Amino acid sequence: MFIVALIAVFIAFIVAIAVWYEKNAVRGVCPTCTTEVDLLHGVGACGRCGEALRAKENGFVPVEAGFVPDHPRFLARFSRLKPPSTWKIIWPGRCCVCAGSATREEKMDVKSVAGQVGPMLTPLNITASDEFAVGYCASHSDGVRFSFPPGIGYAKKNEQCMLAVRSVDYYREFMRENGLGRQVSEEAGG
């Protein structure tokens, strides 16, 4: 009986997440690459080309320069980036949110999957760890977040690792310097 109740709670939790996502996601087509996109609260980045987008009337438009939401909304998936050990520091000495003078530097421990070992059905990931620094002024924090999801074996891949960035200008510069090829439109990026 306890197992049945536990399964029912789990199913209710999954349904609640799906309902919340459906209520908060805005669907549309990326104007840069014509891929269908779902963005939470109507702001984010296209998962295919990396363009920073915002919902407007009948679809999405590239986000205007200078836009900074309250929380990091622009996702840079590791599968679309150069290896973290080669990343260039963006805006040295400047705040990653407002581009003002930085008063402090925060170093993130960025992990990525470097390979796997062990049996095919239950492999273990070999992770690489690199340090990446971002600057902040006295007024800002939470400009760049790193996400390395939990999991074992094939449940954790570089496609699931990402950086979430708050400032669209910092995001575009980061993608230009550290992305794999042209992913952000030149006309929208300034």
pTM of the complete model: 0.78
Tell me what the pLDDT averaged over the chain comes to.
84
With contact defined as beta carbons under 8 Å apart, do 112 and 89 qualify?
A: no
Q: Which of 2-16, 76-90, 158-172 has the lowest mean pLDDT?
A: 2-16
* pLDDT of 189 higher than 80: no
Share of the chain above pLDDT 90, in %: 38
Domain ranges within the chain, ordered by starting residue: 1-63, 65-180
- 110: nearest Cα among 63, 167, 174: 174
pLDDT tens figures, 38-62: 886 778 888 888 899 988 877 889 9
Summarised one tens digit per residue, pLDDT across range 83-124 is 999 999 999 999 999 999 999 999 999 988 888 788 877 777
pLDDT at 150 over 70: no
